[in-house]
Amino acid sequence: MPKVRSVFRCSECGGSSPKWVGRCPSCNEWNTLIEELDDPTRSASQVVAPIDRAVPIAEVDADEWQPRSTGLSEVDRVLSGGLVPGSVTLVGGEPGIGKSTLLLQVASAVAKSGGTSLYVSAEESKQQVRLRAQRLGTLAPRLYLASETSLPHLIAHLDEVKPTLVVVDSIQTVYEPDLSSAPGSVAQVRECAARLVQEAKARNIAAVLVGHVTKDGGLAGPRVLEHVVDTVLAFEGDRHHALRLLRATKHRFGSTDELGLFEMTEGGLDAVPDASGLFLADRRPGVSGSVVVPTMEGHRPLLVEIQALVVKSALPSPRRSAQGLDSGRLSLLLAVLDSRAAITLDGFDVYALAVGGVKVAEPGADLGVALAVASARRDRPLADGLVVCGEVGLGGELRQVGQGQRRLIEAQRLGFTTAIIPRLAPEPPDGMAVLRAGTLADAVKLAGLGN
């Protein structure tokens, strides 16, 4: 009889090694090998799907794979219309960010619109989920609830309820009894996810799996988990702010360029149709170090306030701190300000912040960050009604960014009348004045921050 032996599996790629090593031999990631028991006599039952007959591509009926609305407009925006029957969606996010709240609202909305939803809570009891549903106002007759961790029992619930949508919260706590590995191990997550994908496609139901994330913000478990599903959604936000962002990092049925915005309230997650207005609601004009930047999140223009603070430093190496902004990009812009625009920052601590808990990573915010720092260093506020947009090169030149006109149209909608943009940027909308700059030094002068 074969002996039970230990095997070390990589939590990133799922590769195995007979002994522990610091770096995975398959994907070269460090410290990802986890010990598991490998019992050759006990393996998961393999479900073989029937042979699918090959047909000419023009005869394939695509109507069955049309998205169906989830009942939440911002979720539909990210999913290009809604959930597709037979598809599997993986939702990841930090603990406490609101994944369960969001999916409970989705399951309730589907149930209230005529569908049947099955919410499988593998981490919480039925009573806990029911109390949350009562608080959120998501109780619905066609919303079924099960507290289950065994994969065969979960599939039995699918046979009984015959849902149009099933939510599994979370995939890391579901286990296959025929496998000797512990729940959450690489083998268990891989097997359970693959089996649920088979069931979803065979039954033509939409399945949503909740996944844990690592301390770096990536989805925990083997990378094969992301490969077997059709859509991967990231639910992000700062737990100390009400704003939540939903993005698609993989989507086989549409674009990954859309962004969904929610506000966490006592009654659950509310859609935010006017995100720019929310970001700027508490802005106080006439303060040095503050500038408004029109950014793009996918196809969606957002106006974000960038704030900077420059203070005398008592340290031999002054601090450079960025929140919501790339710290390496901030250091680069400070060097360009010093070298190309005569804004000296030696002996000063510099702090930069994207207000509202949002993360601004695109280069179109470069000019805004640079002018916010220059404004704080000169202690001169920028003019009211001014927005700035442009990428800054190492030579101090300003480069245009994509969808410049859409950015300025959004700024004009919120009452901004003047923009500082690169010299070759597209024409602004009617009624908006522009100041064109070829270099960062020119932009500093146009903003009234020169010597």
pLDDT at 248: 93
Q: Are residues 430 and 301 in the same domain?
A: yes
Q: Are residues 308 and 254 in the same domain?
A: no
pTM: 0.79
pLDDT at 201: 92
pLDDT tens, position by position, 383-395: 999 999 999 999 9
Segment 1-24 shows an average pLDDT of 72
Query: How many domains in the chain?
Result: 3
At residue 107, what are phi and psi to the nearest 5 degrees? -60, -40
pLDDT at 48: 57
Segment 368-389 shows an average pLDDT of 95
pLDDT at 238: 76
C-alpha dihedral (44, 50, 51, 54), degrees to nearest 10: -120
Confidence of residue 70 (pLDDT cuts 50, 70, 90): very high
At residue 157, what are phi and psi to the nearest 5 degrees? -65, -35
Tell whether 187 is covered by a domain.
yes
Confidence of residue 6 (pLDDT cuts 50, 70, 90): confident
pLDDT at 434: 93
pLDDT tens, position by position, 124-168: 899 999 999 999 999 999 999 999 999 999 999 999 999 999 999
Average pLDDT, the chain: 88
Q: Are residues 304 and 158 in the same domain?
A: no
Tell whether 232 is covered by a domain.
yes
Burial group, residue 18, by CB count within 10 angstroms (0-12, 13-18, 19+):
exposed
Q: Are the C-beta atoms of 211 and 228 separated by less than 8 Å?
A: no
Confidence of residue 59 (pLDDT cuts 50, 70, 90): confident
- pLDDT at residue 44 above 50? no
Give, as one character, the DSSP assignment of residue 278: H
Most confident among 100-109, 175-184, 252-261, 356-365 (mean pLDDT): 100-109
pLDDT at 128: 93
Q: Are residues 269 and 373 in the same domain?
A: no
pLDDT at 93: 87
Q: Looking at residue 176, which CATH number applies to its domain?
A: 3.40.50.300
Q: Are residues 340 and 402 in the same domain?
A: yes
Q: Which of 369, 235, 240 is nearest to 295 (CA)?
A: 369
Q: Are residues 308 and 208 in the same domain?
A: no
- pLDDT at residue 22 above 90? no
pLDDT at 337: 95
pLDDT at 1: 44
Of 249, 273, 297, the residue that ends a domain is: 273
pLDDT tens, position by position, 74-131: 999 999 999 999 999 999 888 888 999 999 999 999 999 999 999 999 888 999 999 9
Most confident among 175-189, 288-302, 361-375 (mean pLDDT): 361-375
- pLDDT at residue 217 above 60? no
Neighbours of 61 (CB within 10 A): 7
Tell whether 289 is covered by a domain.
yes
Q: Are the C-beta atoms of 121 and 166 separated by less than 8 Å?
A: no
Q: Are residues 252 and 150 in the same domain?
A: yes
Confidence of residue 437 (pLDDT cuts 50, 70, 90): very high
Confidence of residue 222 (pLDDT cuts 50, 70, 90): low
Higher per-residue pLDDT: 215 or 181 = 181
Both structure tokens of 265: 């309230």
Length of the chain: 451
Tell whether 48 is covered by a domain.
no
Q: Looking at residue 359, which CATH number applies to its domain?
A: 3.30.230.10
Segment 412-432 shows an average pLDDT of 92
Q: Are residues 183 and 210 in the same domain?
A: yes
Neighbours of 224 (CB within 10 A): 16
Q: Are residues 314 and 437 in the same domain?
A: yes
What is the residue range of 399's domain?
Answer: 278-446
